[in-house]
Amino acid sequence: MHRCIVRRAMLEDARAICDLHKASVRGLCAGIYSSEQIEAWLAPRVPDDYRNAMTVGGETMFVGQRAERMVGFASIKTSMLMGLYVDPDGGRGAGRILLQAAEGYARSDAVAVLSLQSTLNAVPFYERQGFSPDRHGTVLRGGLELPVVEMSKTLRAY
């Protein structure tokens, strides 16, 4: 298996990021969330959403690649990890590497505590990476409420 290389996302990555996001949610959240919840979550998403997030939205995105293929992405805005998604077929190990990149970026911006809203299926992953669950909550996606776990991690300065 090729090593995962992380780089900053560019505006021209938006279509691939959008496609990967949809594939990740459909592949990794099935069985945890209903198909109705998954499609409500993803239906309105288009590449311009990711371009806007990277520009006017103030998010910094990273992509992970293996042999020129995008296998994951992470998005961070100040002290909030906005998203971390991997390709369900070829993203194994990319999540940890992308999270490390996002944490490094946050540390360089003097963020003391990184927060996120985890899907139920991703909680064990984040716990293995040092995050602690703070409380159960919900997010509204496409008019439906989806259960999430709010989590945080204290970042140490290098």
Distance from C-alpha of 73 to C-alpha of 98, rounded to nearest angstrom: 7
pLDDT the model gives residue 142:
87
For residue 143, what pLDDT is reported? 87
Q: How confident is the model over 47-91, as pLDDT tens digits?
A: 999 999 999 999 999 999 998 899 999 999 999 999 999 999 987
In the prediction, which pLDDT does 156 show?
76
Separation in Å, CA 73 to CA 4, 78, 116: 11, 17, 15
Q: Name the stretches of the chain with pLDDT < 50.
A: none
Residue 143: give the domain boundaries. 5-154
Give the distance, in angstroms, between the CA of residue 34 and the centroid of all CA atoms in the same chain.
Answer: 20
In the prediction, which pLDDT does 56 show? 96
Give the domain CATH number at 115.
3.40.630.30
Q: pTM score, two decimals?
A: 0.93
Provide the domain count of the chain: 1
